[in-house]
């Protein structure tokens, strides 16, 4: 418990104005075969995400929400606009922005044990072994993998692999967690457990989280604010919903269901608009 308190104290220091993510008129485009015509994947995105916030990007598959996340991660270069964390312009990956990928199998290192995976970032920083062990112990416990330290990823279930990914990035003490549909490949029951634990871990560590999903219920269970993206190409953020509910959230509450319906009808309207332009 004392480990958790110190973690949250640590993160509170991070959760200041210095890691506010500011996005202004952000574009990602590619040139078409015909000269002169430009296709936008995402167009004119404006967002301010405050430090310590749980922010959800919600949109249909292929709308460009992953593209936006990859630009924030620094994996994909933007075509125009501004992107800052604090005062710093972002153009390449950085330690302060950790990424949790959808596919644990392609992002975890199968030749390393759970502990070695969790310690990877610390080892790259050349931290001494004893110190690494203390930190990896703390985060392996935090994600509930105590007793599985010496297993290899192939020996774990899908949910446990995603826990390893989470512990692996948390061990580097990033200010921002970028999560690209991390529970999309899990079965419904495991997904529900992981959602609960993620919101718990978020509350304990107070990181800024940007969470990409196409599942309205998941967005409502997790997000403090939900940005709804329109269908690509030329994807934009059409609306931002506040979710003024306490955690853990109950999907059967009338308030929850009302918001669910509102967002659902938003998508339905857009779909109709798309069919009859």
Q: Measured between alpha carbons, how far is 105 from 223 in angstroms, rounded to an integer? A: 26
Q: Which of 111, 128, 189, 254 binds another protein (CB under 8 A)?
A: 111
Query: CB–CB of 28/78 below 8 Å?
Result: yes
The least distance separating another protein from the CB of residue 66, rounded to whole angstroms, comes to 12
| Residue nearer to another protein on the CB measure, 59 or 174 | 174
- Residue 172 contacts another protein per CB under 8 A: yes
Angle separating helix axes 188-205 and 2-14, nearest 10 degrees: 70
Q: Which of 93, 147, 273, 274 binds another protein (CB under 8 A)?
A: 93
Contacts of another protein in 117-146 (CB under 8 A): 120-121, 123-125
| CA quadruple 262, 265, 271, 276: dihedral sign | negative
| CA quadruple 167, 183, 69, 225: dihedral sign | negative
- Residue 110 contacts another protein per CB under 8 A: yes
Longest dimension (CA), the chain: 63
- Residue 65 contacts another protein per CB under 8 A: no
Question: Which among 163, 138, 141, 143 is positioned nearest to 153, based on CA atoms?
Answer: 163
- Residue 107 contacts another protein per CB under 8 A: yes
| Residue nearer to another protein on the CB measure, 34 or 92 | 92
Q: Which positions touch another protein (CB under 8 A)?
A: 73-75, 93-95, 97-99, 101, 103, 106-107, 109-112, 120-121, 123-125, 152, 168-169, 172
């Amino acid at each position: 418990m004392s480990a958790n308190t110190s973690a949250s104290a640590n993160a509170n220091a991070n959760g200041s104005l210095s890691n506010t993510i500011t996005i202004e008129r952000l574009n990602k485009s590619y040139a078409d075969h015909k000269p002169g015509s430009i296709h936008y994947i995402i167009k004119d995105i404006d967002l301010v995400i405050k430090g310590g916030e749980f922010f959800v990007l919600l949109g249909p598959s292929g709308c460009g929400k992953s593209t936006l996340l990859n630009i924030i991660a620094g994996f994909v270069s933007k075509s125009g606009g501004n992107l800052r964390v604090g005062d710093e312009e972002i153009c390449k990956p950085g330690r302060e922005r950790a990424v949790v990928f959808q596919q644990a199998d392609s992002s975890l290192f199968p030749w390393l044990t759970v502990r070695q995976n969790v310690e990877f970032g610390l080892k790259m920083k050349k931290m001494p072994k004893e110190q690494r062990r203390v930190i990896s112990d703390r985060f392996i416990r935090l994600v509930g993998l105590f007793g599985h330290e010496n297993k290899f990823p192939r020996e774990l279930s899908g949910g446990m692999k995603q826990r390893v990914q989470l512990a692996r990035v948390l061990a580097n003490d990033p200010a921002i967690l970028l999560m690209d549909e991390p529970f999309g490949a899990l079965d419904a029951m495991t997904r529900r457990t992981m959602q609960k634990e993620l919101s718990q871990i978020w509350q304990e560590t107070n990181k800024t989280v940007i969470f990409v999903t196409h599942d309205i219920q998941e967005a409502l269970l997790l997000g403090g604010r939900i940005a709804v993206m329109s269908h690509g190409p030329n994807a934009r953020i059409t609306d931002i919903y506040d979710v003024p509910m306490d955690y853990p959230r109950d999907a059967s509450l009338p308030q929850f269901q009302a918001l669910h319906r509102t967002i659902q009808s938003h998508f339905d309207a857009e779909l109709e608009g798309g069919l009859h332009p």
